[in-house]
A and B are shown apart, each in its own frame.
Chain A
Amino acid sequence: SQTIHQWPATLVQPVGSPLSLECTVEGTSNPNLYWYRQAAGRGLQLLFYSVGIGQISSEVPQNLSASRPQDRQFILSSKKLLLSDSGFYLCAWSALAGYTQYFGPGTRLTVL
């Protein structure tokens, strides 16, 4: 069966510091991968999605970037965090675009 991992689970970072969040999927090949952010009390905002290694589509202009160095690895990064980057970051995978997505446990990021 497929599983999706994210780490760290919780992170507290100062404004201006860098960020690297990692997501890995097991039990499937060539998944579509997604990064979402959920601000407190808000809906899910799609940040990036990837249909293959090295292929990244950005949904929202911001100071974040994503990379997919391996088939089942998806990384979210920032060079300098802003206060507004605080939120719950969720990675998801799907077998096909536009079909059911399965989420990892998420990373709760607080920028102080």
Chain B
Amino acid sequence: RKEVEQDPGPFNVPEGATVAFNCTYSNSASQSFFWYRQDCRKEPKLLMSVYSSGNEDGRFTAQLNRASQYISLLIRDSKLSDSATYLCVVAPGNKLVFGAGTILRVKS
């Protein structure tokens, strides 16, 4: 079983749609959680950290469920510029473990 699992997609959605990604992790001792965004042929960039109580940053909302060991990312009012690969990241210790990513394509 992979340490971090994501649906690879692609998720094809129209502009303005709401889309949600889930991610599951295997190490229950994980303490830190993140979502990164990676554009085609570019480096990953931090989108947001994920806190136990859930957190929101503009159109993006992240949730953590420790009991079920999954993390979610909700994107509201999707923009064309949201098209990218979204990486779920977990820190079970002093390193980060990256999921393989979920591809999002927002169409006009």
Please pick, from B34, B44, B91, B100, the residue contacting A42 in the complex, using a CB distance under 8 A.
B100
Of A34, A44, A108, most B-chain CB atoms within 10 Å: A44
Stretch from A12-20, A73-81, A98-106 at the B interface: A98-106
Please pick, from A43, A49, A99, A103, the residue contacting B43 in the complex, using a CB distance under 8 A.
A103
Q: Sort chain B's interface into a size bin.
A: 20 to 34
Q: Sort chain A's interface into a size bin.
A: 10 to 19
Q: Are A98 and B32 in contact (CB under 8 A)?
A: yes
| Bound Cα distance from A49 to B99, whole angstroms | 18
Instruction: Indicate whether B45 reaches chain A with its CB closer than 8 angstroms.
Output: yes
Q: Are A98 and B91 in contact (CB under 8 A)?
A: yes
Instruction: List residues of B (28-77) whose CB comes within 8 Å of A's CBs.
Output: 31-32, 34, 41-46, 49
CB of B102 to closest CB in A, whole Å: 11
Q: Which residues of the other chain, A, contact B44 by a CB distance below 8 angstroms?
A: 44, 90, 103
- Which residue of B has the minimal Cβ distance to A46? B95
Q: Which residues of the other chain, B, contact A44 by a CB distance below 8 angstroms?
A: 44, 87, 98
Of B46, B94, B101, most A-chain CB atoms within 10 Å: B94
A37-68 interface code vs B (CB 8 A; 1 in, 0 out): 00000111010010000000000000000000
| Bound Cα distance from A106 to B40, whole angstroms | 12
| Bound Cα distance from A53 to B49, whole angstroms | 29
Instruction: Indicate whether B16 reaches chain A with its CB closer than 8 angstroms.
Output: no
Q: Are A108 and B43 in contact (CB under 8 A)?
A: no
User: Chain A interface (Cβ within 8 Å of chain B)?
Assistant: 34, 42-44, 46, 49, 88, 90, 97-106, 108
Of the A-B pairs whose beta carbons lie under 8 Å apart in the complex, a sample of 17, sorted by A's number, is A34-B95, A42-B100, A43-B87, A43-B98, A44-B87, A90-B44, A97-B93, A97-B95, A98-B31, A98-B91, A98-B94, A98-B95, A98-B96, A99-B32, A100-B46, A102-B46, A103-B44
